[in-house]
Structure 1
């Protein structure tokens, strides 16, 4: 997963994160300095999403599938629901019709359950904006079909929260393991502790780590 370098067009936050992380006495710092400011939130999806419910619907649809297959199913679902995925349209559509676009029963139930909660206002952006990262995480993982990783990616990629750290992410752990020269892959608990140094820009540290491990395995692509 490559990182989006912003260079001279960097925002104030991007420059601040670059300056802070690059100045640390830490194994990540030299990579940060060589990379420059980045966009920690950029991750183009193969589909168009409008709103949290559509974002999570694609996330649920894409599990254990290629991006191409997930995009095809998601687009068929959008068409089935009349051009957009809204709580009202999902609730009004029977399970068999949703199954017809290629979704499994568990995925249909997850999207329908999520729509019911969205209909109650739990995914309203104004409401989420007033909440802390921890509060959002707690609420999201209590919803059907949303685990910690999905909640963290939503906060980082959709809500643009600057201090999210996915400690269970395999690529993040592989990057830290390589940077620190460890004999075996660092554990989620250990990497969570390790990430404290990168506060309040752990979303940026995460993106730098993704970029580092990508370049490590795809040097000709850099």
Structure 2
């Protein structure tokens, strides 16, 4: 796993982002210091991301506890492959997520992806390897590399919250589509992961009602 940025490195990156793109100034001014969102890496980290998708936070936590208990705390490709899909479903997984767990595990065992040395790959190559596995979309691959590997220049442009925060930053009426968001985020290299954290922090504060947002005129 790549070491996550320190608070000092995050602060330096925020200053560089504002200097490169003043449109982020409002987000930076309204968002307090934040820590990097680090999560467990490797096969376990990716499998957990799949398990937690499209369910509430509470439901995700409950299902993951059952998965950990069912696997006796051994969240490895070999342990998952040793259980059939029906057994995994008994832990609370949907059939689709159980199959995806198998797919990811088999990809590691076959050598199509090596979670032990994934950090050796460049970002684009790592994303390509991950998305070649059935069940792993681009958003999942990008957020995995960011949260579970500590990569600092990844931007999950398909994320709706990021798109909405980008709309606010640019004072636009419509939020950018995924391809447009990727292009827009190019200005934030090599700190796109920090920009994502910043925009998420701003978006969350607005949605929680902690700060007000002045919407652009229609």
The TM-score normalised by the length of structure 2 is 0.85
Q: Which of 64, 82, 105 is 1:74 aligned to?
A: 64
Q: Could you tell me how far apart the structure 1 residues matched to 2:60 and 2:30 are?
A: 35
| Partner deviation per Cα, 1:64-94 (whole Å, 9 max, x = no partner) | 2112212222221221112221111111112
* 19 and 77 in structure 1: CA distance in 2 versus 1, 3 angstrom threshold: same
Q: CA deviation at 1:148?
A: 0.4
Question: Aligned residues, how many?
Answer: 207
**1:21 alignment counterpart:** 17
How does 1:20-39 map onto structure 2 within 5 Å? 20-33=16-29, 35=31, 37-39=33-35
Partner SS for 1:123? coil
Q: CA deviation at 1:141?
A: 0.3
**Unmatched segments (≥5 aa) in structure 1:** 1-5
CA contact (8 A) 1:73 1:103 kept: yes
Q: CA deviation at 1:120?
A: 3.4
**2:133 alignment counterpart:** 143
Q: Which of 3, 7, 11 is 1:10 aligned to?
A: 7
Let me know the Cα RMSD of the aligned residues: 2.2
Displaced runs of 4+ in structure 1, greater than 6 A? none
**Unmatched segments (≥5 aa) in structure 2:** 213-218
Partner SS for 1:178? helix
- Structure 1 window deviating more from structure 2 (143-152 vs 53-62): it is 53-62
Q: Could you tell me how far apart the structure 1 residues matched to 2:31 and 2:63 are?
A: 36
RCO comparison, higher one (Cα < 8 Å, 6+): 2
| Partner deviation per Cα, 1:3-40 (whole Å, 9 max, x = no partner) | xxx9xx823x223302201223421034325546543x
**2:98 alignment counterpart:** 108
| Partner deviation per Cα, 1:81-116 (whole Å, 9 max, x = no partner) | 122211111111122211111211111111011111
**1:187 alignment counterpart:** 177
CA contact (8 A) 1:149 1:166 kept: yes
Q: Could you tell me how far apart the structure 1 residues matched to 2:38 and 2:56 are?
A: 16
CA contact (8 A) 2:21 2:187 kept: no
